């Protein structure tokens, strides 16, 4: 039942693209499913926090890695 409901919603989303003959892009599909899940606002907020965190830490280290504190493990 859930599959059929999702299938119908996706068909509705794709119908205008089919009627106009325009291609559906990956960004269109990604945005549609984000909206469908209700993730859209949360994703934007998380991206904003990540950008703010990166901007704040950009000059924090002298390794010239853009503020990335991850280090590669040697394996030895």
Is 28 within a domain? yes
CA–CA separation, 16 vs 23, rounded Å? 10
Is 16 within a domain? no
Torsions phi, psi of 64, nearest 5? 55, 40
Residue 57 is predicted with a pLDDT of 53
Overall residue count recorded for the chain in this entry = 76
- pLDDT tens-digit profile of 1-59? 989 988 999 999 999 999 999 999 999 988 888 888 876 666 677 667 766 665 655 55
pTM over 0.85: no
How many structural domains does the chain have? Answer: 1
Is 73 within a domain? no
Instruction: Tell the burial category of 27 from Cβ atoms under 10 Å away from its Cβ (0-12, 13-18, 19+).
Output: exposed
Contacts of 57 (CB under 8 A, 6+ apart): 67, 69
Domain of residue 46: give its range: 22-53
């Amino acid at each position: 039942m859930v599959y059929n409901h999702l299938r119908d919603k996706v068909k509705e989303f794709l119908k205008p693209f089919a009627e106009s003959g325009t291609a559906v892009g990956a960004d269109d599909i990604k945005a549609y499913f984000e909206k469908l899940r209700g993730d859209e606002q949360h994703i934007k907020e998380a991206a904003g926090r990540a950008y703010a965190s990166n901007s704040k830490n950009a000059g924090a280290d002298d390794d010239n890695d853009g503020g990335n504190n991850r280090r590669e493990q040697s394996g030895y």
